[in-house]
Structure 1
Amino acid sequence: MIAYLGRRLIQSVLILLGISLITFALLYLLPADPVRQIAGRSATPATVESIRRQLGLDQPFLVQYGRYLWNLLHGDLGRSYIQRSEVAQLIVARLPATLLLMVGAIVCELAIGLTMGVVAAVRRGSNTDQSLMVASFIGVSAPQFVVGLLLLYVFAVRLSWFPIGGYGTFSHLVLPSLTVGILGAGWYARMMRSSMIDVLRQDYIRTARAKGLARVTVLMRHALPNAILPIIAMIGIDIGILMGGIVVVESVFGWPGIGQLVWQAIQRVDIPIIMGITLVSAFAIVLGNFLADIIAPFIDPRIKLR
């Protein structure tokens, strides 16, 4: 276990290092000039060059990247060019809202997707199976802003069950989580159906049925724990995606998460914020996959960490 954790730690550091290098290089090659955004249109060339020197943007690429890594090792994500605040503080301020939406969305994805997948697998080839798979395809294909606006119109405007937007209470969380959850549920349903069908063909399922165990017991106790293993890996990926923020959903519902912050940063070419949120999202994906690997052996003892 210790050797495995050590290898995974080294791999994680290398992955994050590679992501930081690629992201920094792409932002360095951008045709847009962040100094012009800071200085304004009326700034003189002398003012622009002065700001460029102050920010160290006149240095070669390797010098800039090396300085960024050195600051990163000391926990410094940099300072926003536009907002004049520490990037870490800006991210931490938006983090609670993002985490709340992430948890709510994953709960909705699992509740809807796993239920659809299991029912479709059990009734494979029936009208129910086909209807659920069509519904999952529609959920995956539907644009988020369309789903969000439709939910707002029905449940907030017409029925007045939930607030139109904002943040702070459980009622504010329901519609944004459901919007994200409907999209993810389609993927989970299709994955769960495929995995469950494969498991239901196994010999130990036939043996459990031959022993006279109830159908629900066979499904919940023997089939589901093995079929759910691919879903755990998907959750690890979802954590990183949702941590990066969902710009469309946050905009539709006025949700003050990281997505809005990074979108504003992209519009203003605020490189420190873009780098900071990219690394936080990458770290979340790495951490999510690591936790998924750790949890898997507890669900299926046949899996060994090596």
Structure 2
Amino acid sequence: MLTYIVKRLFGMIPTLLLVAIVVFLFVHALPGDPARLAAGPEADETTVALVRHELGLDLPLPQQFLRYFDNLLHGELGNSLRTKRPVSQEIGDRFMPTLLLTLTSMIWSVIFGLVIGVVSAVWRNRLPDRVGMTAAVSGISFPAFALGMVLMQIFSVQLGWFPTVGASTWQHYVLPSITLGAGVAAVMARFTRAAFVEVMQEDYVRTARAKGLSERIVVVKHTFRNALIPVVTMMGLQFGFLLGGSIVVETVFAWPGVGMLLVDSVVMRDYPVIQGLILLFSLEFILINLIVDVLYGMINPTIRYK
């Protein structure tokens, strides 16, 4: 297992290098002049040229990439064009609110999704199944930004139960986590139901029922572990999407996380921050996929890694 993990960690280096190249070319293809934005709308061309030289944007594109790549080799992401602070500090200040919001959303959505999916599979084609799958389809179909605004209107404006801006107390996490996790809970419910229905039709499950075992023991002891492997895959993917895809929710709730930082950086054409954030998102997906593969071996001991 350790050898497999080490190989996967070394294997992610070419992937991150390719992502760095693509992202560098992408951000420099964005319309707009960062030097003009940094200098201000009233600055003359001389001032803009000085700012462009100070930021290193007057260098040829290959030379800018070599400077960027040299910083990466030294473990640096450069400095923000907007604040002049190191990109690592900019991301570090915003990462924890996004991580906590993602974890909160993931915990409740996985619990609800698993419960609804298992109940729907056990009572397939009956009332609990129809109600659960209707709720799941509704959760997938309803856009996150619309759900967030509806929740704010009801629970903040009309009832005054929860705040809408900030991330300092647990109350601030309620509405954004529901908005962010609703789609994940729906996907988990449908995927869990499909996995459980497939496993419950296997011969060993029918044999367990023929022995007179209760349905609860059949589901928990004979079905759950085998049905959990594809569910864990979906869980890992959804967690990665939540970390990198919280931009809409953070914008709706003015959440002080990396999603809002990415939006602000794109508006200001802050190239180093954009590149650092997308590299971070790519690294998150790679590590999450590695964790999912390791969990396979823990759930099913028959799986061996070479």
Q: Which bin holds the TM-score, normalised by the shorter protein?
A: over 0.9
Judge conservation of contact 1:245–1:258 (CA < 8 Å) in 2.
no
Q: Give the superposition deviation at 1:264.
A: 0.7
Q: Which residue of 1 aligns with 2:241?
A: 241
Letter in 2 for 1:136: A
Q: Give the superposition deviation at 1:255.
A: 2.0
Counterpart check, 1:43 vs 2:30: no
Q: Which residue of 2 aligns with 1:256?
A: 256
* Aligned-partner Cα distance in 1 for 2:258–2:162: 23
* Aligned-partner Cα distance in 1 for 2:62–2:305: 38
Q: Percent identity?
A: 40
- Cα distance change, pair 234–274 in 1 and its aligned pair in 2 (3 A): same
* Aligned-partner Cα distance in 1 for 2:56–2:166: 39
Letter in 1 for 2:17: L
Letter in 2 for 1:247: I
- 1:228 match: secondary structure: helix
- 2:119 match: secondary structure: helix
- 2:85 match: secondary structure: coil
Q: Which residue of 2 aligns with 1:175?
A: 175
Letter in 2 for 1:137: V
Judge conservation of contact 2:243–2:281 (CA < 8 Å) in 1.
yes
* Aligned-partner Cα distance in 2 for 1:225–1:305: 19
Q: Give the superposition deviation at 1:166.
A: 2.4
* Aligned-partner Cα distance in 1 for 2:40–2:161: 45
Q: Which residue of 2 aligns with 1:20?
A: 20
TM-score by length of 1: 0.93
* Aligned-partner Cα distance in 1 for 2:44–2:160: 54
Deviations 1:12-45 (A, max 9, x none): 1111111111111111222322122112233333
Counterpart check, 1:108 vs 2:108: yes
Q: Give the superposition deviation at 1:158.
A: 3.9
TM-score by length of 2: 0.93
Q: CA RMSD in A?
A: 1.9
Q: Give the superposition deviation at 1:286.
A: 0.8
- Number of positions where the alignment pairs a residue of Structure 1 with one of Structure 2: 306
* Aligned-partner Cα distance in 2 for 1:106–1:275: 26
Counterpart check, 1:200 vs 2:215: no
* Aligned-partner Cα distance in 2 for 1:103–1:305: 28
* Aligned-partner Cα distance in 2 for 1:164–1:26: 34
Q: Which residue of 2 aligns with 1:269?
A: 269
Q: Which residue of 1 aligns with 2:6?
A: 6
* Aligned-partner Cα distance in 1 for 2:243–2:251: 16
Q: Which residue of 2 aligns with 1:286?
A: 286
Judge conservation of contact 1:296–1:303 (CA < 8 Å) in 2.
yes
Q: Which residue of 1 aligns with 2:152?
A: 152
Q: Which residue of 2 aligns with 1:89?
A: 89
Q: Give the superposition deviation at 1:114.
A: 1.3
Judge conservation of contact 2:254–2:260 (CA < 8 Å) in 1.
no
Letter in 1 for 2:168: G
* Aligned-partner Cα distance in 1 for 2:30–2:254: 29
* Aligned-partner Cα distance in 2 for 1:86–1:180: 29
- Cα distance change, pair 146–31 in 1 and its aligned pair in 2 (3 A): closer
Q: Which residue of 2 aligns with 1:99?
A: 99
Matches within 5 A, 1:112-127: 112-127=112-127
* Aligned-partner Cα distance in 1 for 2:54–2:162: 49
Q: Which runs of 5+ in 1 are unaligned?
A: none
Counterpart check, 1:300 vs 2:278: no
- Cα distance change, pair 177–52 in 1 and its aligned pair in 2 (3 A): same
Letter in 2 for 1:33: D
Q: Which residue of 2 aligns with 1:189?
A: 189
* Aligned-partner Cα distance in 1 for 2:253–2:48: 38
Judge conservation of contact 1:157–1:164 (CA < 8 Å) in 2.
no
Judge conservation of contact 1:236–1:287 (CA < 8 Å) in 2.
no
Judge conservation of contact 1:112–1:182 (CA < 8 Å) in 2.
no
